[in-house]
Amino acid sequence: MIIASISENKNLEKRIAITPEIAKKYISSGFEVYITKDYGKHLGFFDDDFKILGVKVLDSDEKVISSTDILVQLELPSEDKLDKLKEGQILIGVLDPISNKERLNKLIQNKVKNFSLELLPRITRAQSMDILSSQANLAGYKAVIESFANFEKAIPMMMTAAGTVPAAKVLIVGAGVAGLQAIATAKRMGAIVFATDVRMASKEQVESLGGKFLTVEGSENLETEGGYAKEASDDFKKKQEELLAETLKKIDIVVCTALIPGKKAPVIIKDKMLDNMQPGSVIYDLAAIQGGNTAATKVDEIIEKNGVKIMGERNILNKLPTSASNLFAKNVFNFVLNLYDKKNNKININLEDEIIEKSLVK
């Protein structure tokens, strides 16, 4: 059984799906591992690091694709490479079935089995495979670091003979995995941290990290069975806007993390709210690629509006590619082991297994 990965488009994606550490685990589990030449060179993982473990390094993506049983990637490969996949092969990655519906349907017609890891169910058994959590955790941390780097004042309170520098006030919008890590990071660096989320279950988590949870009076619990946020009612949105508008007047840094799976990101911070923020404030919008949580967010640009900097990147994890690759590769390895029937050396697509059934693109 051969598992392989080809190079991503490094202008868009610097993470890799198989690290040397994980290649060793695949080989110990009975797999052969193939990669393309210079696959991990940009991260300091050289071909010899893989070869010494028994990995086969081929000189083209096409040779890797034609040889493998399972291809693991971050994003969906380009059209010309997808055309090389054939009946019986398996593709595993972050395939974005909504945006890539037509391309994935073509693969399905060619009897390629496609597993998209962002579709994994939020169940205990799938936690070790949960790419959304592992990657969001790093994204929340890095968003705080990036926003602090662009804030032109000190973060912690400092008492000096010349006077006192007040601690920065930080607001985290959305207290999921990314938001909770952002709270923890900001708090460790000495900021005063506030957070808001439509899911009432987040209140206890926020407070356990030292943040203050901002609650809309008479709020409803807007949480799906899968643990994600769902769309709020118009009445809730109005109350939330009023609370945010007042809060933002005294906030220095905002980190936005609010997303609804499969939909455009909700616009939470409106133009009139931005107008009332203090000049010099910074907003980092992790939802930028899905439209943004602010009305002014633009992907990969720093927008300045009334002295407020608004920033958001297509892929913030490109700034932490080694850490992100290590975690992603482990998630994928655990997913593959769940598919693999070692005794018979074959893949068992058991649709009675919720993990397999939910992640299979149909």
Q: HSE-up of 152 (CA within 13 Å, CB side)?
A: 7
228 tagged catalytic: yes
Question: Which is the catalytic residue, given 78, 99, 127, 233?
Answer: 127
122 tagged catalytic: yes
Lay out the sheet containing 113-116: strands in order across. 56-58, 32-36, 2-5, 70-72, 90-93, 113-116
Question: Which is the catalytic residue, given 66, 69, 122, 353?
Answer: 122
C-beta separation of 198 from 228 below 8 A: no
C-beta separation of 261 from 288 below 8 A: no
325 tagged catalytic: no
130 tagged catalytic: yes
Identity of residue 174: G
Lay out the sheet containing 192-196: strands in order across. 212-213, 192-196, 169-173, 253-256, 282-285, 308-312, 301-305
- The Cα diameter of the chain in Å comes to 74
Distance CA 53, CA 18 (A): 13
Question: Which is the catalytic residue, given 89, 133, 147, 202?
Answer: 133
CB atoms within 10 A of CB 218: 8
125 tagged catalytic: no
Question: Which is the catalytic residue, given 228, 278, 323, 353?
Answer: 228
DSSP, residue by residue, 225-291: TTS-B-PPPHHHHHHHHHHHHHHHTT-SEEEE----TTSPPP--B-HHHHHTSPTT-EEEETTGGGT
Helix and strand tally (H, E) in the chain? Answer: 12, 17
Question: Which is the catalytic residue, given 34, 103, 130, 281?
Answer: 130
Bridge partners for 113 per DSSP = 90
Q: Which residues are catalytic?
A: 122, 127, 130, 133, 228
